[in-house]
Amino acid sequence: MFSILRSIWLTFLHAFHKRETVGYPEKKPYLPPRYRGRIVLTRDSEGNERCVACNLCAAACPVDCISLQATEDENGRRYPEFFRINFSRCIFCGLCEEACPTYAIQLTPDFELGEYDRQSMVYEKEHLLISGEGKYHGYNFYKNAGVDMGVKAKGEGENEEPTVDLKSLLK
Amino acid sequence: MEYIFIIAGVLLIVLTIAAGLIWVERRLLALWQDRYGPNRVGPFGLFQVLADMIKIFFKEDWIPPFADKAVFVIAPGILMISILLTFAIIPFTDSFFVLDSNIGLLFFLGNSSLGVYSIVLGGWASNNKYSLLGSIRASAQMLTYEVFMGLSLMGVVMMSDSFNLREIVEAQRGMWFVFPQFIGFVVFLIAGVAETHRTPFDIPEAEGELVAGYHSEYSGMKFGMFFVGEYLGVTLISTLIVTLFFGGWLGPSFLPPAFWFFFKTAFFICFFVLLRASLPRPRYDQLMDFGWKILLPLVLLNILVTGAIILYLQ
């Protein structure tokens, strides 16, 4: 009996509590920088595409919404000929971001992807590619890689010993 | 002629309030659950009711092929009619009422019993197990709660010496009946909640157990009539509580009597919503136990004591 009256009273007190609802379209909620929203392709600090078309993101994707075709430029540097994400399938799990060895594919806090046309949900490379570096600044895969792809000469990369000429007798 | 205007006025006011209550209830429930409720359509979401009405009129009004068609169609009408008829005996002010009947209170009790037919027939005609279970529950609940709903008012009748609601209000000039008849008030409030099938006594609907109880098979405006009927019932019980226990239109004279009546009624309507916001639904047998084993003896005791005191004072 007392507990019934008490719960009525406690419910009444909620009239003076702050409302939990966020008036969304007018008032945007704060989303942390690592929120998993719209997927972008980033560039390195020199403005080149980071993506090396290794297909690891497409392999990791549980719903197979990423499709890409690798090709090479004149230096032998791999890049995607096309890169397509179907956002009507994407579940924003972030596994592509985790799989990416070059920090190229990243998820952003933008979640407002509504479209009237289903075909508009398919993003091509020009829609995905942004001009900045995203969350990881100063990282350039080819400066850390051993191979020379026209970005840096062999042995001149970061954390890399200078090359040793094994055929020289003077060593 | 004037008579027709009053009837039309009462109908208009009552139906507008009942429809508006849909908005009021949603906003108030939201307030007590730290939400906003409907706030998009019009100022404060006030036009939500209009939008819902337009929607419900355009919905398919479907009668299941397995239903008993005639009864299925009549059932929601019975609810509306029995409740709307009862508003005839409510004295809104000392001059604004439809019927100044010397059996007003009995008219209300009779009509509220007729309201059960709507639910029982609706559930029966739906030819659906859940609906039938809902209406069985409803009939048992109504039988239980009708008994001491009537008895809880007898104290008021004894004290005012009349079944006429206007005279009952006049008899409260000295003191509101809620003070001498507090037990009667509490029992009537509980019975009123049960009468209108509102949470915590919405066992005939019990959407967690019975889909939607007796109106599972209803759609379109027929469902709308059950829905508005519930709010009409809330309004009716609130006006009756105000009339019988809280001095009706009586109040300090700096504001018109109509204001006092509507202010008090609004208070009890909000209280009904608060009950819904705070209390869980009891089990079916708990409801029956509570009715027969606690409320009925309590209300009989109330009548006994009231009668004894009145006799002693004479």
**Residue A76 Ramachandran class (φ > 0 left, ψ -120 to 50 alpha, else beta):** left
Reported confidence tier of residue A17, pLDDT bands at 50, 70, 90? confident
- Rounded Cα distance between B18 and B83, Å, is 11
Q: What is the pLDDT of residue B55?
A: 87
**Residue B44 counted as domain residue:** no
Separation between Cα atoms, residue A55 and residue A36, nearest integer Å: 20
Whether residue B6 lies inside any domain: the answer is: no
User: Residues B211-230: pLDDT tens digits?
Assistant: 777 788 888 788 888 888 88
Kindly report the backbone phi and psi dihedral angles of residue A80, in degrees, each rounded to the nearest multiple of 5, phi listed first.
-75, 135
Residue of B nearest to A26 (CA): B40
Residue type, A69: Q
The answer, for A3 touching chain B at a CB cutoff of 8 Å, is: no
Q: Is the CB of B34 less than 8 angstroms away from the CB of A23?
A: no
The domain of B82 spans: 65-313
B10: helix, strand or coil: helix
Cβ-nearest to B36 among A7, A12, A19: A19
pLDDT value, residue A62: 93
Residue B42 is assigned to a structural domain of this protein = no
pLDDT in tens, B282-301: 888 888 888 888 888 888 99
Examine residue B237 and state whether it is found in any structural domain, yes or no.
Answer: yes
Task: Quickly state the pLDDT bin for A171 (edges 50, 70, 90).
Answer: low
How many domains in chain B? 1
Digit-coded pLDDT (tens) for B228-267: 888 888 888 998 898 888 887 877 778 888 888 888 888 9
In this prediction, what percent of chain A has a pLDDT beyond 70?
99
Contact A20 B278 (CB under 8 A): no
pLDDT of B58? 87
Contacts of A8 in chain B (CB under 8 A): 274-275, 278-279
Structure tokens that stand for A1 in this block? 């009996």
Q: Residues A71-87: pLDDT tens digits? A: 988 878 888 999 999 99
Measured CB to CB, residues of chain B less than 8 Å from chain A are 31-36, 274-275, 277-279
For residues B32-42, average pLDDT: 85
- Please report the number of interchain residue pairs, chain A to chain B, with beta-carbon separation below 8 angstroms: 32
B188 in a structural domain: yes
Q: Which of B35, B36, B278 sits opposite A8 (nearest CB)?
A: B278
Q: What is the pLDDT of residues B43-85, one digit of tens each?
A: 888 888 888 888 888 888 888 888 888 888 888 888 888 888 8
Instruction: Name the token pair of B310.
Output: 């009145």
What was the ipTM of the complex prediction?
0.74
Which residue in the set B35, B274, B279 is minimally distant from A19, CB to CB? Answer: B35
Determine the pLDDT at residue A96.
92
Nearest to B133 by CA among B216, B213, B76: B213
Tokens linked to A79: 């890049």
CA dist B112 → B18, B27, B198 (Å)? 17, 28, 15
| Boundaries of every domain in chain A | 27-143
Instruction: Return the minimum-mean-pLDDT range out of A30-34, A37-41, A99-103, A138-142.
Output: A138-142
B205 in a domain, yes or no? yes
* Distance (Å, whole) CA B303 – CA B301: 5
- d(Cα A70, Cα A79) in Å, to the nearest integer? 6
pLDDT tens-digit map of A91-143: 999 999 999 988 999 999 988 888 899 999 999 998 988 888 888 888 888 88
Lowest model confidence (mean pLDDT) among A144-158, B170-184, B293-307? A144-158
For residue B147, what pLDDT is reported? 84
Interface test with B, best of A3, A5, A8, A22 (most B CBs within 10 A): A8
Spell out which residues of chain B touch residue A20, defining contact as CB-CB under 8 Å: 34-35
Q: Pick from B41, B18, B166: which is nearest to B103 by CA?
A: B166
Q: pLDDT tens for residues B107-163?
A: 888 888 888 888 888 888 888 888 888 888 888 888 888 888 888 888 888 888 888
CATH number of A27-143: 3.30.70.3270
